[in-house]
Amino acid sequence: MDDIGQQFGSRMEKVVAKLAKDYAVIRAGRANPGVLDGIVVDYYGVPTPLHQIAAISVADARILVIQPWDKAALKEIEKAIQTSEIGINPANDGNVIRIAFPSLTEDRRKEICKKVRKEAEEAKIVIRGIRRDGMEEIKRQKKENEITEDEVGSCEKIIQNVTDKYCKNVDNLCEKKEKEVMEI
């Protein structure tokens, strides 16, 4: 019976991990190398993730510095950043690329918070879908006489507790990201 909690809990854990990864990409007004995670550069004809061809560091609170290991890749890296959806123009000085993150306006911060809450709600919907799958599995097992009525009740309770735990994790992630976005 405990394995049913682990089985569905591991699926829910993946949802929370994906949400955390999605939140890392959301720009909060501070320099965050995670914003560049999805950028792929055409490196000698091969699509290559940016972090594999350059060192990415935080120069100060609002500036990221990208230093490619191969200077010939500077133009391609600059082009990849410009065509990405992060909405920031890179500055290329011939050796490194600097990305300055402008301060966010109050309206933009509120807009980002709406997006953060929407993603959290979508994650909770997926978690509740996993709970529904678990409940259906329990009913199927009961119907096929694989488990007793008492076990049905305890399994449902286990699945509900796991669901509550992961929904709370999503709420905590959301709250933390909102706080980060609203911080000036």
Amino acid identity of residue 25, one-letter, is V
Question: Averaged over 21-41, what is the pLDDT?
Answer: 79
The per-residue pLDDT for 50 is 86
Q: Residue 1 — very low, low, confident or very high, per pLDDT cuts 50/70/90?
A: low
The domain 33-100 is placed in CATH, from the list 3.40.120.10, 3.30.390.50, 3.30.1360.40, 2.60.120.260, at 3.30.1360.40
Lowest-confidence pick of 21-30, 62-71, 122-131, 154-163: 21-30
Cα 135–138–144 angle (5° rounding)? Answer: 145
pLDDT tens, 87-143?
A: 778 888 888 899 887 777 888 888 889 999 999 999 999 999 999 999 999 999 888
Decide if 2-25+105-182 and 33-100 have a common fold. no
Residue 180 has pLDDT above 80, yes or no: yes
Give CA–CA dist 20/38, Å, rounded: 14
Question: Cβ-count burial of 86 within 10 angstroms (0-12 exposed, 13-18 middle, 19+ buried)?
Answer: middle
pLDDT tens, 48-101?
A: 898 889 998 888 878 889 999 988 888 888 888 888 877 778 888 888 899 887
The per-residue pLDDT for 169 is 95
Q: Name the CATH topology of 2-25+105-182.
A: Topoisomerase I; Chain A, domain 4 (1.10.132)
Q: What is the pTM of this model?
A: 0.72
Question: Averaged over 159-181, what is the pLDDT?
Answer: 93
> Mutual orientation of helices 2-25 and 106-143 as an angle, nearest 10°?
160
Residue 2 has pLDDT above 60, yes or no: no
Question: Averaged over 138-150, what is the pLDDT?
Answer: 88
Cα 45–40–170 angle (5° rounding)? Answer: 160
How many other C-beta atoms are found inside a 10 Å radius of the C-beta of residue 82? 12
What ranges do the domains of the chain cover? Answer: 2-25+105-182, 33-100
